[in-house]
């Protein structure tokens, strides 16, 4: 097995590659121009493909054949049409070009066979899988993924390993297209990412777009009088598509200038509606700060969310580590310090921090080259130590008739590090000796055994070199097999990555005719993860039928509705797949595994039919239908408006304010959503989809524990009310009591969900049952009848028909025919205006898993 050593920062606007070498990190430079960064841009000319800065410059000449910012569309179904090739390319393909070009930076001529590629912490499973595939298509035999805040943490804390870093830190990563905020804790020399928050559509690209839309386009409209020019500018294959990308290019350059100057100029020429215009626009730093302030405040809000979730006051945070090119903007740093009171730290270059950390991480990741395919791959040093018995070879040293395998950590905060050795073959009377380079440690001659360990003492804050020498029976050194082991003491490394989001399965909530989330793996659990679940089938599925059992695995927040989460894996088992009928109540066994790289594998076993269904999910594309997005948007808007009315009615001003803020944020996207069409080339549909998902999650949590307690109290009140009237019920008592028992039998689980939407549904179900009970209680029916009889004529849809029913109802009541009387009251409810009779819910299919 070989150490990976290579780290790659696959960025939205710029990418880098670095290598760990003997305790040091080398960031490779582009042979052309000697820059450490490679612009994440690909251009397709008629005769060649350009990658990097040359491609970015080509945007001014032929923008429709130049593509950048595609990292934000990883994991989507988006395709980019290349005019010069007359074909589409995907974000994965474009990323592959960048990764191949980065490998050319390695001046030694060594070809990276494996690498650690960084991803935003908030990347979902689809985006992560897409990144991994891009690395494999770029020729890497093994790809390991690392969350960017972890990489930045490794870079910072290993930059000054001798200092005392104990306590809590924040990592603020605002790059070209994505944002992450991570809470890092250092305890007794151990580094751990405790929590994080992020937005995959918030970064420098958005600032560029705002410059174009809010500062440049108004000037164009003012000069030309073309009111809808903004919409025309962003239309795919429209008249001004080339200008759109040219303006984005110039906006990016302007943004850089405004990081150092009070004002900067942008000039360009174009033809609009047959008339030529020359534009020269001066934009001040203050104007720029004003337009980005709302998005910067979003990052501050996410930062505070992380602190609140972990019950940490700002006084407990030592500093905020700044990462990403957009942190060079003075307003970002000033706003962050002013809003939080936490000192910002830029001691590590924000541009290279992520790739440096990736290289540190790569030093302790191992892979097996293809010509040793029988060996195990994909394990870190902890896996190797734990499963050492299963290893065939690690750092193999071929001898005459045997070989040795070594396993150790290249970085350590400890004063000694364990070396594990395994010998294979015949080695009678052979011996080994391990000596530290400074002579401070020497094992002497030791006879080889099948397996053994040595504890190597480390000098503090140094690269400790140990030489392993093999001797034959006559104690002659086999010099060609001398091996050097280098362990850097005092540097941090991290064994596992935290799971970015909760992983749940969707199960039936029959009592409320809906589904709910059941937690499988909790956010921030360390990868890899494995769990076996045992449940019951909640409905009968006949052999050969179209009915289905659905194992739906979702990624998101366990306290929200299933619709607020992302499906990352789904196994559907229909009646046509079954050997025999699958009866309700039979057992189902589900095993769910998530690898270190977030690959999901599942196995479902149906006990009754003795059938297994397996699948490994590597979903790389999520589709966003604009029509569906508009429906989801409208549904969420309607639901929030309804909630606001309820809060106002109950005088819950604070909650109403929160709901109004959510509604305002949602409505801020409504104008852009209305303009969206399937040909729109901007990122807006992804930005809006992300916002809808995020607001939906926040809406599910509105009011926090107080709202939950109020809903729980309301639940018990209506439950008590129904129980009370069930005792006096005159008709269908058995049916109503059975229904009541059905609705309340899962009460303990219901109260543990901490999901307001489920509680609200439970309350609605009990309320409906309550009305059903009243409509089967004679005393209530009589009182209700008297009210309807005294109501004015205009309250009825057909007062003549109502009068006829009055006569029949009076007669039935006089003769004490209460069952007949009840039917007449039912008939009257249908004649009263605005009176909605109780309608039973439709049959509920759900997932089939209870």
As given in the structure block, the two tokens for residue 808 are: 């029949």
Which is more confident, 495 or 503? 503
Picking from 88, 56, 90, 97, the residue whose alpha carbon sits closest to that of residue 74 is: 90
DSSP H helical ranges for 347-398: 353-362, 381-386
What's the CA gap between 719 and 672, in Å, rounded? Answer: 45
Could you state, in order of their start, the residue ranges of all structural domains in the chain? 1-159+350-371, 381-489, 502-617, 626-702, 707-831
What does the alpha-carbon distance between residue 414 and residue 445 come to, in Å, rounded to a whole number? Answer: 26
Provide the token pair at 314. Answer: 């700002």
Beta carbons within 8 Å of 790's beta carbon, 6+ residues apart: none
When mean pLDDT is compared over 7-16, 52-61, 118-127, 660-669, the highest value belongs to 7-16
**Which among 185-194, 277-286, 645-654 has the top mean pLDDT?**
277-286
Residue-level pLDDT at 850 = 79
Query: Residue 567 and residue 652: Cα distance in Å, rounded?
Result: 34
Mean pLDDT of 273-286: 94
Question: Which among 202, 307, 201, 204 is positioned nearest to 256, based on CA atoms?
Answer: 204
Largest CA distance in the chain: 121
Please, how many CA atoms are within 13 Å of residue 679, restricted to the half-sphere of its CB? 10
299-314 pLDDT tens trace: 999 999 999 989 999 9
Of the pLDDT bands very low, low, confident and very high (cuts 50, 70, 90), residue 92 is: very high
Residues 6+ apart with CB under 8 A from 295: 202, 206, 207, 210
Cβ atoms of residues 467 and 434 within 8 Å: yes
Q: Chain-centre distance of CA 200, in angstroms?
A: 9
pLDDT the model gives residue 237: 77
Residue 207 has pLDDT above 90, yes or no: yes
* Residue 761, helix vs strand vs coil: helix
- Where does 10-53 show beta strands of DSSP type E? 14-21, 24-27, 38-39, 41-44, 49-51
- 334 vs 631, which has greater pLDDT? 334
Place of tokens 């000069």: 223
Mean pLDDT for the chain overall = 85
Q: Which band of pLDDT confidence, cut at 50, 70 and 90, is reported for residue 257?
A: very high
pLDDT confidence bin for 634, thresholds 50/70/90: confident
Q: What share of the chain in percent tops pLDDT 90?
A: 38
Q: What is the mean pLDDT of residues 383-394?
A: 46
For 174, the 3-state DSSP assignment is strand
Alpha-carbon distance 613 to 578, whole Å? 11
- The bridge status of strand 483-489 relative to strand 411-412 is parallel
Please name the helix (run of DSSP H) or strand (run of DSSP E) that holds residue 633, with its range, or none: helix 626-649
What's the full length of the chain, in residues?
850
Distance CA 626, CA 689 (A): 9
Q: What is the average pLDDT across 275-292? A: 95
Task: Give the pLDDT mean for 509-525.
Answer: 81
Confidence of residue 393 (pLDDT cuts 50, 70, 90): very low
pLDDT score of 397 more than 70: no
Fold category of 381-489 in CATH: Immunoglobulin-like (2.60.40)
Amino acid 374: pLDDT: 40
Q: Name the 3-class secondary structure at 259.
A: coil
**How much is the pLDDT for 26?**
93
SS3 at position 838:
coil
Instruction: Tell me the average pLDDT across 733-743.
Output: 89
Q: How confident is the model at residue 512 (pLDDT cuts 50, 70, 90)?
A: low
**Predicted pLDDT of residue 624:** 63
Q: How far apart are CA 212 and CA 251, in angstroms?
A: 7
Alpha helices in 727-798 (DSSP H): 733-744, 747-752, 756-774, 778-789
Cβ-based burial of 357 (10 A; exposed 0-12, middle 13-18, buried ≥19): buried
Highest mean pLDDT, choosing among 45-49, 373-377, 475-479: 45-49
Which runs of consecutive H residues, i.e. helices, occur in 375-419?
Answer: 381-386
Please report the pLDDT score of residue 353 as a whole number.
95
Per-residue pLDDT band for 636 (boundaries 50, 70, 90) equals: confident
Q: Is 128 helix (H, G, I), strand (E, B) or coil?
A: helix
Take residue 580 and report the two structure tokens written for it.
């025999």
Name residue 507's beta-bridge partners. Answer: 516
Identify the weakest region by mean pLDDT among 670-684, 748-762, 774-788. Answer: 748-762
Nearest alpha-carbon partner for 397 in 469, 455, 476, 472: 469
Residue 827 makes CB contacts below 8 A (sequence gap 6+) with: 805
45's CB contacts (< 8 A; 6+ apart) are 58, 62, 65, 84
Are the C-beta atoms of residues 182 and 170 closer than 8 Å to each other? yes
Give me the phi and psi of 825, to 5 degrees please. Answer: -65, -40
- Tell me, what's the pLDDT at 134? 95
> Per-residue pLDDT for 392 more than 50?
no
- Nearest Cα to 115, choosing from 201, 258, 18? 18
Reference 695, options 724, 729, 670, 720; nearest CA is 670
664, 663, 659: which is closest to 648 by C-alpha? 659
Distance of CA 529 to the CA centre of its chain: 17
Q: Which two tokens stand for residue 655?
A: 């909650």
401 pLDDT band (50/70/90 cuts)?
A: low
What digits encode the pLDDT tens for the residues 576-611? 999 999 999 999 999 999 988 888 888 899 999 999
CATH 2.60.34.10 is held by the domain 502-617 = yes
Q: Are 334 and 298 in contact (CB under 8 A)?
A: no
Mean pLDDT of 703-729: 86
| CA 547 from centre of chain | 32
End-to-end CA distance of the chain: 45
Distance CA 271, CA 237 (A): 16
Q: How many CB atoms lie within 10 A of CB 309?
A: 12
Over 60: is that where the pLDDT of 350 sits?
yes
pLDDT bin (cut points 50, 70, 90) of residue 835 is very low
Q: Is the pTM of this model over 0.85?
A: no
Whole-number percent of the chain with pLDDT over 70: 91
Residue 838 pLDDT exceeds 50 = no
Model confidence at 379, pLDDT cuts 50, 70, 90, reads very low
pLDDT at position 18 is: 96
If you ran DSSP here, which 8-state letter would residue 811 be given? H
Environment class of residue 355 by beta-carbon count within 10 Å: exposed (0-12), middle (13-18) or buried (19+)?
Answer: buried
Range with lowest mean pLDDT among 113-122, 190-199, 372-381, 507-516: 372-381
pLDDT of residue 689: 80
CATH architecture of 1-159+350-371: 2-Layer Sandwich (3.30)
Which distant-in-sequence residues (6+ apart) come within 8 Å of 639 by Cβ? 699
C-alpha to C-alpha distance for 94 and 65, rounded to whole angstroms:
12
Span 618-640, mean pLDDT? Answer: 72
Note whether 254 and 178 are within 8 A (CB): no
What is the reported pLDDT for 366? 80
Average pLDDT on 84-112 reads 92
- Residue/partner pairs of 228-233 with CB below 8 Å, 24 or more apart: 229/272, 231/675
Q: Residues 742-766: what's their mean pLDDT? A: 78
Q: Is 124:568 a contact under the CB 8 Å cutoff? A: yes
The mean per-residue pLDDT over the stretch 17-46 comes to 90
Neighbours of 22 (CB within 10 A): 11
The 8 Å CB, 24+ separation contacts for 19-23 are 19/106, 19/359, 19/362, 20/359, 20/360, 20/362, 20/363, 20/410, 22/463, 22/486, 22/488, 23/411, 23/463, 23/486, 23/488, 23/491
């Amino acid at each position: 097995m070989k150490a990976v050593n290579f780290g790659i920062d696959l960025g939205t606007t710029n990418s880098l590659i670095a290598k760990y070498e003997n305790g040091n990190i080398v960031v490779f430079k582009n042979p052309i121009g000697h820059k450490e960064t490679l612009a994440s841009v690909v251009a397709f000319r008629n005769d060649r493909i350009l990658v990097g800065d040359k491609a970015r410059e080509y945007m001014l000449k032929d923008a429709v054949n130049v593509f950048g910012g595609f990292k934000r569309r990883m994991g989507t179904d988006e395709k980019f049409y290349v005019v010069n090739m007359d074909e589409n390319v995907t974000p994965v393909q474009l990323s592959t070009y960048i990764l191949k070009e980065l490998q050319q930076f390695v001046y030694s001529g060594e070809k990276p066979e494996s690498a650690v590629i960084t991803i935003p912490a908030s990347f979902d499973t689809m985006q992560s899988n897409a990144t991994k595939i891009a690395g494999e298509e770029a020729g890497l035999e093994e790809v390991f993924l690392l969350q960017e805040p972890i990489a930045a943490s490794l870079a910072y804390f290993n930059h000054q390993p001798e200092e005392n870093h104990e306590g809590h830190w924040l990592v603020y990563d605002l790059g070209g297209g994505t944002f992450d905020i991570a809470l890092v804790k250092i305890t007794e020399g151990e580094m751990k990412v405790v929590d994080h928050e992020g937005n995959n559509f918030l970064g420098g690209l958005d600032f560029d777009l705002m410059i174009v839309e809010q500062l440049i386009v108004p000037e164009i409209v003012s000069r030309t009088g073309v009111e809808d020019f903004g919409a025309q500018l962003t239309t795919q294959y429209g008249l001004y598509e080339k200008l759109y990308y040219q303006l984005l290019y110039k906006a990016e350059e302007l943004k850089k200038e405004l990081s150092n100057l009070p004002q900067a100029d942008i000039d360009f020429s174009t033809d609009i509606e047959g008339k030529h215009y020359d534009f020269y626009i001066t934009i001040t730093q203050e104007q720029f700060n004003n337009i980005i302030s709302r998005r910067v405040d979003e990052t501050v809000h996410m930062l505070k969310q992380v602190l609140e979730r972990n019950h940490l006051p700002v006084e407990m945070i030592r500093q905020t580590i700044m990462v990403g090119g957009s942190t060079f903007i003075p307003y970002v740093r000033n706003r962050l310090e002013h809003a939080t009171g936490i000192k910002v730290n830029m001691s590590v270059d924000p541009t290279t921090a992520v790739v440096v950390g990736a290289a540190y991480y790569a030093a302790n990741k191992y892979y097996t080259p293809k010509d040793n395919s029988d060996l195990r791959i994909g394990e870190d040093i902890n896996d190797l130590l734990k499963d050492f018995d299963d290893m065939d070879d690690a750092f193999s040293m071929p001898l005459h008739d045997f070989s040795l395998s070594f396993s150790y950590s290249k970085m350590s905060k400890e004063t000694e590090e364990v070396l594990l050795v395994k010998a294979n073959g015949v080695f009678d009377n052979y011996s080994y000796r391990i000596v530290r380079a400074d002579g401070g440690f020497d094992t002497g001659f030791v006879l080889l055994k099948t397996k053994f360990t040595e504890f190597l003492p480390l000098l503090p804050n140094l690269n400790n070199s140990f030489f392993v020498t093999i001797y034959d029976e006559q104690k002659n050194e086999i010099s060609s097999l001398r091996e050097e082991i280098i362990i850097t003491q005092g540097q941090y490394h991290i064994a596992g990555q935290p799971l970015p989001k909760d992983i749940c399965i969707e199960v039936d909530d029959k009592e409320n005719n809906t589904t709910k989330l059941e937690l499988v793996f909790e956010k921030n659990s360390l990868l890899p993860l494995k769990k076996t679940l045992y449940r019951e089938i909640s409905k009968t599925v006949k052999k050969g039928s179209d009915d289905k059992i659905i194992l739906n695995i979702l990624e998101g927040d366990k306290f929200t509705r299933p619709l607020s989460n992302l499906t990352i894996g789904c196994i559907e088992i229909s009646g046509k797949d079954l050997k025999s009928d699958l009866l309700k109540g039979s057992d189902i066994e589900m095993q769910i595994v998530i690898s270190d790289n977030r690959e999901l594998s599942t196995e479902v076993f149906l006990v009754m039919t003795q059938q297994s269904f397996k699948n490994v999910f590597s979903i790389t594309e999520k589709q966003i239908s604009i029509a569906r997005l508009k429906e989801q948007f409208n549904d969420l808007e309607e639901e929030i408006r309804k909630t606001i009315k309820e809060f106002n009615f109950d005088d819950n001003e604070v909650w109403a304010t929160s709901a109004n803020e959510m509604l305002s944020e949602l409505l801020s996207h409504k104008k852009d959503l209305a303009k969206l069409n399937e040909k729109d080339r901007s990122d807006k549909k992804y930005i809006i989809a992300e916002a809808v998902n995020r607001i939906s999650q926040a809406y599910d949590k509105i009011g926090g524990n107080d709202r939950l307690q109020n809903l729980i109290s309301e639940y018990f009140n209506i439950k008590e009310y129904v129980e009370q009237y069930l005792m006096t019920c005159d008709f269908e008592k058995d049916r109503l009591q059975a229904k009541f028992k059905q609705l309340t039998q899962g009460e303990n689980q219901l109260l543990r969900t901490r999901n307001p939407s489920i509680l609200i549904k439970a309350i609605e179900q009990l309320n409906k049952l309550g009305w059903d009970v009243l409509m089967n209680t004679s005393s209530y029916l009589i009182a209700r009848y008297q009210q309807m009889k005294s109501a004015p004529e205009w309250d009825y849809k057909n007062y003549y028909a109502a009068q006829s029913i009055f006569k029949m109802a009076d007669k039935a009541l006089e003769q004490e025919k209460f069952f007949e009387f009840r039917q007449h009251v039912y008939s009257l409810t249908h004649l009263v205006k605005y009176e909605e009779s109780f309608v039973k819910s439709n049959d509920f299919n759900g997932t089939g898993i209870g």
